[in-house]
Every structure is written in structure tokens, then in C-alpha cells.
Amino acid sequence: MYEAILEKASEGRGIGREEIEKLLSIDDPDTLSSLFETAHSIKRKSFGDRVFTYGFVYFSTYCRNNCSFCYYRKSNGIERYRKSADEIVMLSGDLQDNGVNLVDLTMGEDNVMHNDNCRELVDIIGKVNSAVSIPIMLSPGAAKESVFPLFRDSGADWFACYQETHNRDLFSKRRIGQDYDHRYSQRDWARKYGMLAEDGIMVGIGETTGDVADSIVKMGSQGCEQIRVMTFVPQEGTPMSASLRKNREDELKVIAVMRLAHPDRLIPASLDVEGIEGLVPRIRAGANIVTSIVPPHMELAGVANKDLDIENGMRSIDHVIDVLETEGCVVGSNSDYSSLLRRMRAI
Ligand code: SAM
Ligand code: MD0
Ligand code: SF4
């Protein structure tokens, strides 16, 4: 039964909602291995052995929201920072010099950045854009439609905003007080005004297998060029601090099924969940982008793991490249990445 679905996906015939759900229910180790092998080979058909690297600059950890899963939620009494424009430019320049293909400018929903038509944020994007030649991704949370052209014009190539789940009830429990449709529209607006867009889900936040299948279908139909999954990591001081963390297999399975359902999308392996340990299994499950590369000694945080593998340099680009090359991957150049983006924009 599973074999027939795997074969169908390999032949590029496309799989539907029911087949997706079926694959997500695989738990026998041999069948799981076949799923990962199929995903890996579909990825190689689409992208070869090339893997691209994204640098991560979490430049403000202030947030006006209270997502139940997040360490940086407003009610958590943690220490926070907001980097200056000069620091952000310097960090982005260093990441470019070190060889990443993109810089992801990420923040909590910081009012200082969102006020006044995102004036300060637009200024920062413009400054980073003048200083670096690699593409810029912006992950600022949810913004109003009128600022999207400003993001685009100041130099943002990508806009990332993750729905987390496409189950409205679950969304309202996790993204407390936030509007589902407004968040969903972020990616439509990004694409409408000329940016590429990323959607994503979390596993381990109370979703069912059916919810994940729905999300995989919906992430595909919205047309986002990049789609992701991350395992929920329980955070101190949050309402979900005592929740259990899922084991690695669940996220790997979702990566693999996303690859089967959406062969041509970019799919990240995030270092944020398990650090460098988690890289190779995610690549083998069908991911082709490494995200959350963070240089050491810069006092920058991660999201799902605020400090895992950062200060020891394991999340630095040099170490990531070593691991990728040992795995037989080709680390994509900036010109490879630009032509990929041109191709995706033209579709
Ligand atoms: N604040 C912006 C937002 O929420 O869209 C952008 C950055 S946000 C910190 C990036 C993503 O990190 C969230 O959308 C969520 O998917 C993920 N994340 C946050 N807390 C997490 C956790 N405890 N475990 C795993 N992923 C988490
Ligand atoms: C990551 N910590 O890639 C980053 C973050 C935001 N665009 C990305 C969740 O894992
Ligand atoms: Fe704020 Fe983003 Fe965390 Fe939600 S996930 S609390 S919006 S930083």
C-alpha cells in the first residue's frame, strides 16, 4: 500500500490529501526508511546535491504577542535585546563574508519596529541591502498590507511568516489573540507585492495527523516557494513549559512527506531545533536549505533553542559546510542561489 504511493510520488504523478495522511501514519522502521530514501531521491531530481545556507540575525527579541509555545512571548519576564541598525548591518556583512547565501532578519513582533508604518524596520532593511549583495529574508511577524511594498522596495526578497497550523481552533489556542486570516494573508501580500514567501508548521503543539495533512496540502496550494516544519521545543516560563517534546521522527516524516507532495519547493533543515546533530537526518529526509546559521560571540539568540550550539561555534557556517561536505552535499554558491530565485520568480 505504502509502496504504491511512494512509487507514484517518485514518478512525479503527485499525491493527494488521503495519500499524504497515509504516509504520515507510517511507523514501521523499514517503511520509514523507504519514505526517507524516496524523499531524498526526489529532492536530488529537483535540486541535485546542492544545499543552500541561510544566516540568521534575530535582531530584536521584544514582542507584543503571547504565543503559548514561545520563549519570547510578552508575558515571559526574560532579558531582551534590540540591536542597532549599525550592529545589524555589521552582523549581516559578516554572515555574507563567511559565505551564507541569504540573511534572515528576524524579530519578535516588536512595536518599535511595527509603529509608524514600520519606519525603523524599513530603514534597517535598506541599510542591510546597501551593505550586502546576498538576498534578504524578512521575518517580522504579521504586518498590515500597506507596508509590504515598502519592504519590497527597501530590499527584502523573501517574507517568512508561519501559520504553525491550518486548524483554526488550534491556531487560536497557540497564537492567542491573533487573527488567523490576517496571518494567512501575510504570504499572499508578500507574493502580491513581488516577494517570495515562506510558510511553516510546528509539530507537537496538539495537532492531529489529519491537521498535518491539511497543512501540507494548504502550504502547497498557497504557492509559497519555501515551506517548513519545526518540532515544538518546550520553553521555560510559558504555558506549554511542561508539554512533552515529540521525538525527531515526527519532524523528519513531515519533511519527507512535504518533499513528496511538493517536489520543487525549498524545504529547510533548521539548526534551531536540535542544533548541528539534527542537520544530516533532515537533509536525508529531503531538506535542501540549512537555516538558523548563527555566528558565535555575537550575543545573538536562536528561537526554539535560545543558545544551543551557538557559543561553541557548531552553528557557524564553517562547521555547517564541513558537515554538509562529509555528507556528500554540494554547498550552493551565491550565483547558483540567484539563478534558483530567478527561476522561482518566473513561475
Ligand atoms: N516573531 C515572528 C513570528 O512569530 O512570525 C518571527 C519569528 S518567530 C520567533 C519564528 C518561528 O519560530 C515561529 O513562527 C515558530 O514557528 C517558531 N518557534 C517559536 N517558538 C518555538 C518553539 N518553542 N519551538 C519550536 N519552534 C518555535
Ligand atoms: C530558523 N530560527 O530558521 C530560525 C527561524 C525565521 N524565519 C526562522 C525560526 O530556524
Ligand atoms: Fe512573538 Fe513570534 Fe514568539 Fe509569537 S512566535 S511570541 S509573535 S516572537
Region 275-281 average pLDDT: 97
* Residues 6+ positions from 332 with CB-CB distance below 8 Å: 50, 51, 52, 53, 101, 340
Judge residue 3's burial from the number of C-beta atoms within 10 Å of its C-beta, 0-12 exposed, 13-18 middle, 19 or more buried.
exposed
Average pLDDT over all residues of the chain: 97
Q: Where are the beta strands (DSSP E) in the chain?
A: 50-60, 102-107, 136-139, 158-160, 196-203, 226-231, 268-270, 289-293, 330-331
Q: Quick check: 150 and 182 in contact, CB under 8 A?
A: no
Ligand 1 in reach of 232 Cβ (< 6 A): yes
Summarize pLDDT for 101-141 with one digit per residue, the tens. 999 999 999 999 999 999 999 999 999 999 999 999 999 99
> How many angstroms is it from 22 CA to the middle of ligand 2?
28
> What pLDDT sits at residue 128?
98
Q: Name the pLDDT band for 247 (thresholds 50, 70, 90).
A: very high
Q: How far is the CA of 107 from the centre of ligand 3 (A)?
A: 8
Instruction: Calculate how far, in angstroms, residue 306's C-alpha sits from the geometric centre of ligand 3.
Output: 13
Any atom of ligand 2 within 6 Å of the Cβ of 302: yes
Residue 340 has what pLDDT?
Answer: 97
Render pLDDT for 180-237 as a digit per residue (tens, 0 to 9). 999 999 999 999 999 999 999 999 999 999 999 999 999 999 999 999 999 999 999 9
**Domains of the chain and any CATH numbers:** 2-346 (3.20.20.70)
Closest-lying ligand 1 atom to the alpha carbon of residue 109 = 1
CA-CA distance, 335 to 343, in Å (whole number)? 12
pLDDT confidence tier of residue 295, bands split at 50, 70 and 90: confident
Residue 270 sits at the vertex; the CA angle it makes with 109 and 13, to the nearest 5 degrees, is 110
pLDDT recorded at residue 118: 98
Whole-number pLDDT of residue 1: 83
**Ligand 2 pocket test, candidate residues 255, 292, 310, 315, most atoms within 8 A of CB:** 292
Q: Whose CA is nearest to atom 4 of ligand 3?
A: 67
Residue 64, pLDDT above cutoff 80: yes
Running DSSP on this structure, what letter comes out for residue 266? B
**Residues framing ligand 3 (Cβ under 6 A):** 63, 65, 67, 70, 72-73, 108-109, 141
pTM comes to: 0.98
- What is the residue with the minimal CA distance to atom 4 of ligand 2? 292
The reported pLDDT for the residue numbered 346 is 82
**pLDDT value at position 286?**
98
Give the C-alpha separation, 128 to 142, whole Å: 21
347 has a pLDDT exceeding 90 = no
The rounded Å distance from CA 303 to ligand 1 centre is 6
From atom 9 of ligand 2, which residue's Cα is the shortest distance away?
303
Ligand found nearest the CA of 268: 2
Q: How far is ligand 3, taken at its centre, from the CA of residue 76, in Å?
A: 11
What confidence tens digit (pLDDT) does each residue in 320-342 have? 999 999 999 999 999 999 999 99
